[in-house]
């Protein structure tokens, strides 16, 4: 049995690399384009977790749509922090401060409390899951989530290496199974009340541990290219904007054969709106994106025993 999650960063439309303005400068029209995606989930039995940021939570029309998904479509609504669009605006507007964990814990808590309270007022229920915007997560965020009552985090991205010192780097994880966070090292198991459910990133075939540990430090143009050319080795995200259908199936099959108990697909809500992201510029792009997802879930359901779960359900399943 494989536990399967789809965790969606549900947020405003924007061009990454542009200016980071406050929430009044962005729209969330992309939420109105999610119905075809949700219908696809309904056909396959998928339970989506929509991790929403402040501009979405503050938009009445967007929340009406997401509330329907939650009430009638087995979806979960969780937290997603983009600091630059989430009051209070106390930090200096720098690129480094767009990563939540670079803010003081006190300010992280203030922002997340405002977001959590706003969602709770709309839904009548406290959100219990979280993903940091831009995967900006480290040890400073663990007590923040504990104080807020968040039960599950999904910010850790195995093998991710930041390009700048202020960007998150997670590197190699000894195990990619869900684990209780460690307040001193988020890559290791600990006794925090918060369960970590990493994003699914992995290799398409088995390789020696020493190579897995050092892979992200290998030069892209050198050894990595040779390993791909002569051995067929590659590192994939379970993400339809990063991997094609065959790559997602190849990654999933390898991980399932390896004994992994869960898969955690992620993407962004604005990828389902034509022009909402660089991945889908036209309606044809969106249609192909949806077809890729449809074919993937058709394959998965036909070949494996799958239990689709919300992110918050993982707490009961794995925290025993």
Give the domain ranges of the chain: 2-200+260-278+305-318
pTM of the entire structure? 0.97
Q: What is the pLDDT along the chain (320 residues), one digit of tens a residue?
A: 999 999 999 999 987 777 899 999 999 999 999 999 999 999 999 999 999 999 999 999 999 999 999 999 999 999 999 999 999 999 999 999 999 999 999 999 999 999 999 999 999 999 999 999 999 999 999 999 999 999 999 999 999 999 999 999 999 998 899 999 999 999 999 999 999 999 999 999 998 999 899 998 887 767 778 888 778 889 999 999 999 999 999 999 999 999 999 999 999 999 999 999 999 999 999 999 999 999 999 999 999 999 999 999 999 999 76
CB atoms within 10 A of CB 141: 26
Q: Which CATH architecture has domain 2-200+260-278+305-318?
A: Alpha-Beta Barrel (3.20)
- Quickly list DSSP for 262-294: EEEEEEEGGGGSTTSSSS--SHHHHHHHHHHHH
The answer to whether 5 and 310 are in contact (CB under 8 A) is yes
Interatomic CA distance for residues 313 and 77, integer angstroms: 12
Q: How far apart are CA 30 and CA 45, in angstroms?
A: 23
3-state secondary structure of 49: strand
What values do phi and psi take at 14, rounded to 5?
-165, 160
Cα-atom radius of gyration of the chain, to the nearest Å?
A: 19
């Amino acid at each position: 049995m494989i536990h399967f999650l789809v965790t969606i960063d549900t947020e405003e439309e924007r061009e990454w690399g542009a200016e980071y303005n406050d929430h009044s400068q962005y729209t969330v029209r992309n939420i109105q384009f999610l119905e075809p995606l949700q219908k696809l989930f309904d056909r396959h039995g998928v339970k989506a977790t929509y991790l929403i940021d402040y501009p979405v939570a503050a938009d009445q029309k967007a929340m009406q749509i997401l509330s329907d998904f939650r009430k009638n479509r087995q979806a979960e609504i969780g937290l997603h922090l983009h600091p630059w669009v989430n009051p209070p605006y106390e930090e200096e507007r720098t690129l480094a401060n767009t990563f939540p964990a670079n803010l003081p814990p006190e300010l992280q808590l203030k922002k997340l409390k405002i977001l959590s309270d706003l969602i709770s007022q709309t839904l009548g229920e406290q959100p219990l899951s979280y993903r940091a915007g831009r995967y900006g997560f480290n040890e400073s965020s663990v007590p923040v989530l504990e104080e807020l009552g968040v039960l599950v985090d999904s910010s850790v991205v195995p093998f991710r290496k930041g390009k700048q010192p202020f960007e998150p780097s997670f590197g190699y994880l000894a195990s990619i199974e869900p684990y209780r966070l460690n307040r001193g090292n988020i890559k290791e198991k600990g006794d925090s009340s918060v369960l970590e459910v990493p994003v699914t990133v992995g290799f398409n075939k088995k390789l020696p541990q020493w190579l897995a540990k050092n892979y992200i430090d290998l030069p892209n143009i050198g050894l990595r290219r040779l390993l791909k050319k002569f051995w067929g080795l590659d590192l994939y995200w379970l993400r339809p904007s990063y991997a094609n259908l065959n790559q997602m199936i190849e990654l999933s099959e390898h991980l399932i054969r390896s004994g992994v108990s869960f898969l955690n697909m992620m993407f962004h809500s604005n990828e389902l709106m034509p022009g909402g992201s660089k991945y889908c510029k036209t309606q044809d792009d969106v249609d192909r994106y949806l077809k890729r997802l449809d074919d993937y879930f058709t394959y998965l359901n036909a070949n494996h025993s799958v239990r689709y779960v919300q992110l918050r359900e993982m707490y009961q399943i794995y925290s025993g």
